[in-house]
Structure 1
């Protein structure tokens, strides 16, 4: 176990990785980026050579960051992209990343056993392959609801057929291989002069431009 906030102390984190010869690492992309830059600046990239499996989750990961990570870890190290909100018990989809195939967008993959993922339109009808829709997740990990907030629970816990699904609010698309691709948050779409803009896509473009930055795109109004 790391000490409190140890994951934010890069020198301490690097020391633990080296001393304990850590082989399995669950980490968010922004911290991967910071850690790799720290190790490179200190000429100590061998710290992560013991890793055999790196699981990324919590944020969208770019192909550029995966390529950078791949260049530093052992050739047999597996890199996974995981997805899942807290309301479905953290993780419901997985994907083993192959940077030789995925050049622009890394899928969040397929559902884990005992989970079911649906991509639906605003009428709660399934969308076709390649079409954008909202992700609904059903299965063993779906939460019972928000404590003392039945009003909020009713908005996100939906029965479809005999199954209970969590309405994630995340926009995804399904490709021809059956892999889900994360697009962004439904509530992060804005309209400017009548045109729909996905803030998450702008973030991804910025992140692809450099491996040394993190980005968050927000809407700014004239009176702010």
Structure 2
């Protein structure tokens, strides 16, 4: 499907229905229990939409959706959109308090639980202490995705139908994708990489294969599934791919039908790509590095990575801007910088989201408008290369990528700092060999160190998603500060790294 054919649709539902009209009996989605055709999925989504309308859903109503790795979740997404509403994806593995905050902050009045077996269950929520809801104006919201927040308060990114359609029209035509493809859906449907996995398949008439959690947890079983299910398109974060690659090397049978491998969510490792492309079965696989934050609708640029690219050139190439997106390198005042000079990656175009839900101040700061066009300041450091492509150089602030999730360490610090026996805390990402560890460097209050690590570990587990829970705790008498009186985060990082390395040696 061409870019023009995608964007001429007025909604994602209209796009899906058009594909269904052309391929009613094609398999749309598979899960651990079976599969459904496009016609069957459309019929189920209509039943859910009717239930939602009776339950009070109207245009742009935000509906909390507890997601699972099942067909009913996909039908629920379509049903919510078909009702004119928008969904707030809720991963049931997140702590209850975090899920409660997301529901309250979004102002959701309805909760649709599709995470279990059987039909999705609709519940009307108590409106006490809930936010007023989205200030969306005339835009048609598709979903609100919550990301980590620097103040300990997650923020909801408002993404519209037009955003997703612009994203798909700028991405799908770049690759040889068709209705005969079979895509894995590896990432949680609360993580925006799944928007690419799911809608990349549905927009092209292909099959979306929902991978069970227990299979994802075992890279060997994942490789076996990709092989047995004749999967042709896979999207992975680098930190998981390295285990999948190792499983491929050790496997007697390899997924020889694989045609496309997309790297999403975190910085690419060219050495791993080189090893992958060196395996005879995968030498012809198209490997692409996809870059973009949640706020600009999944991806904003793409770079097909060849074996030659892995041997010389930029360390982390992210390619050129997608159609409907614009990338530029700017300084602190928003001025464009010349080629080769490092600065903040700033993104414009039709894929830029509507802003942060109920956070007008933060939206104004991170989504500046110039000459009537909305941009997003990513906080990523990069530079424009002579060939017109871009290179990612890392984060400008303390935000990190871990297992594909974007994390602001200040949120973790805020949660741990609220423990009464903690004087201060800094969180950093350290490496020991090939492994990465999230380390919390803690200064106990009044020397109250007894049992503090266990207390903090339990607190983190209760209040934070697993990916944000520190792996290790380092108790320090004080934190280092520089000559200007500012916290020396690099000094903390060095201390944590030295402690981690010393422990590994011993």
Q: Classify the TM-score, shorter chain.
A: 0.7 to 0.9
Alignment of 1:11-160 (within 5 A): 11-40=220-249, 43-44=250-251, 46-72=253-279, 73-102=281-310, 103=312, 105-160=315-370
Equivalent residue of 2:274, what SS? helix
User: Do the aligned partners of 1:50 and 1:74 also contact (CA within 8 Å) in 2?
Assistant: no
Match of 1:193 in 2: none
Please state how far the C-alpha of 1:163 moved relative to its aligned partner: 1.2
Please state how far the C-alpha of 1:150 moved relative to its aligned partner: 1.8
Cα distance in 1, alignment partners of residues 303 and 438 from structure 2: 26
Equivalent residue of 2:235, what SS? strand
Cα distance in 1, alignment partners of residues 240 and 276 from structure 2: 12
User: Do the aligned partners of 2:316 and 2:393 also contact (CA within 8 Å) in 1?
Assistant: no
Please state how far the C-alpha of 1:220 moved relative to its aligned partner: 5.6
Structure 1 residue runs of 4 or more that deviate by more than 6 Å after TM superposition: none
Task: Report which stretch shifted further, 91-100 or 11-20.
Answer: 11-20
Structure 1 gap segments, 5+ residues each: 190-202
Please state how far the C-alpha of 1:39 moved relative to its aligned partner: 3.1
Please state how far the C-alpha of 1:110 moved relative to its aligned partner: 0.4
TM-score after normalising by structure 2 = 0.38
Matched, 1:2 2:211: yes
Question: Number of residue pairs matched?
Answer: 203
Q: Which has the larger radius of gyration?
A: 2
Structure 2 gap segments, 5+ residues each: 1-209, 400-428, 443-475, 480-506
Equivalent residue of 1:82, what SS? strand
Please state how far the C-alpha of 1:188 moved relative to its aligned partner: 3.6
Please state how far the C-alpha of 1:69 moved relative to its aligned partner: 1.2
User: Do the aligned partners of 2:276 and 2:282 also contact (CA within 8 Å) in 1?
Assistant: no
TM-score after normalising by structure 1 = 0.81
Distance 1:34 1:131, change over 3 A: same
User: Do the aligned partners of 1:30 and 1:214 also contact (CA within 8 Å) in 2?
Assistant: no
Cα distance in 2, alignment partners of residues 5 and 180 from structure 1: 37
Equivalent residue of 1:168, what SS? strand
Distance 1:217 1:110, change over 3 A: farther
Greater relative contact order (CA < 8 Å, ≥ 6 in sequence): 1
